[in-house]
Structure 1
Amino acid sequence: MLGAIGLDERQEATYRALVAAGAAEVSDLAHRLALPRSDTERALRGLEHQGLAARSSARPGRWVAAPPGVALGALLIQQRHELEQAELAAALLAEEYRAEASEPAVHDLVEVVTGASAVTHRFHQLQLGAVSEVCALVTGKPIPVSGTENESDERAANRAVSYRVVVEREVLGLPSGILELSAALGRHAQCRVVDRVPTKLVVADASLAMVPLTGRGAEPAALVVHASGLLESLMGLFEAVWRDAMPLRLGEGGVVREERTGPDPTDLEILSLLLAGLTDASVARQLELGLRTVQRRVKGLMELTGVSTRLQLGWHAYERGWVSRTPRP
């Protein structure tokens, strides 16, 4: 817990033991901590350097704990000051980078990142750096674009970063595909589906993009594209795919629902998946419903709209605003 102010685990344990005792001999602390005397003395010297412990002037070999409220408070103030200085330095460097990058060299417009660990790190860095919007095209196994399972996602969510994601229809046919997609996208993402996306793609703030590189037997690699004509083309590709894609209504991990009369949330999920091209059987598997339940609900929607065919049902669904290509305000 105190690692944020510069204490390692051994120093923290030593300080806690010293605070509990008020004052103690080195040998007593070493016994309490089950540490060698030399390690205990080293930890105490580290605490002394931090102003958290002092040698007793009355009894040599005895150490006294500094009051936590005063000593730790001073360290916290120092840490905040150092963070403020680091933020200022980061802002100045960013401004300097923007100034220098106004006319970047051609070879600086694209980075090649190789190795699974490096690609993953760069992806999360790109997402964490987003301040307004992340756009993505997804094929194969869903990627965590805006979920809340890791710290970078939570920070992005706290900054109200919006997400627009287009997934390939094949993703919906994977075992538990809907559940994985809902978990990966999170609650506040807009999601659409198409038969096929041209490539995997992630774009942050229309200013930085990642495109995977694939090759036979090659280790994972990706292109990181900075502001350029190439980036504008990639953003144009995303917008074209997004414009032609079908809106997808997800379950608990997906869409914030509105209170309304008519179909319930499960009806709307079924309708969304049917309009995305899934069969009744596939919808039943994805939503963990019985096939007859799906068919019964579809029949109920047809009765509700007064139509006799599913084609008419899809048309009425758009007319009534149950599904839409444009998000509601």
Structure 2
Amino acid sequence: MLGAIGLDERQESAYRALVAIGAAEVADLAHRLALPEPDTERALRKLEQQGLAAQSSSRTGRWVAAPPAVALGALLTQHRHELEQAELAAVLLAEEYRMEAAEPAVHDLVEVVTGAGAVAHRFLQLQLGATEEVCALVTGKPVAVTGMDNEAEERATGRGVAYRVVIEREVLSLPDGITELSAALGRDEQVRVTERVPTKLVIADRALAMVPLTGPGAEPAALVVHASGLLESLTGLFEAVWREGLPLRLSADGSVVREALPGPDETDLRILSLLLAGMTDASVAKQLDLGLRTVQRRVRGLMELSGVTTRLQLGWHAYEKGWVARGLRD
């Protein structure tokens, strides 16, 4: 069952046994598992690397199990993140392959940059080459470049380039996170925070984008995407994450303050509830003593706020955000 997080059958058996008995000597555990002692010790070493077991500090040669809720939870979170990165890379590569198969010159629309120095240099070029706007998603685990390059951003904003940035909450806990964030807000950059962003991403003037191809531990590599359908998809990804983020600003004393996004008012919620109950726009307008155009305008506003294009999508968004209860349709 734990093979998904990198444990083989022996390692999983060893961990389960340790959890059951709390702590054990190698010899005792080997006897319990019916394994040779060298194999048992190798399994324990692997568990130690994964943070699932540790040698007792009070008794040499004795091993103890790490609490499953904490240790397995951390591993699952790590693997989920790696899987998301792999899925994104697969989508990007599939799109690149599709475009290359469609037209011979399509490779000119995509560059693959490898090596930490080359990735950092290309990242700097994107910012310094922008003339209107730079959009960025910033993760808490930069690979080859930091989330914010103060020098490059100062030069760009000094030329009138606007910045919109969404950061992961983890960025706020980094050693220089608050300092760099305060500097960015001081340059009138728009910054929002969300629990998690799907990938590190920078887009310059909606004409050029850069997204990583590798995660921590591998040689840094990035995909630079020129104007294409893929670039439009990456821009759409940024806009979707931007809509979900909470705005940040500097208070009078220089501290970072989180603001709430505008949401639907009481009238909007009543309109939504009645529409989801199956009423027509005209019936809703009559029920709430509103004009038909007012109801339709408010519904369009809710769709824009939610970033959706159909009323069906608006209904799902309303449920997900807790604007209405599912019981309304029962």
| Fold similarity call, TM over 0.5 | no
TM (norm. structure 1) is 0.43
Which has the larger Rg?
1
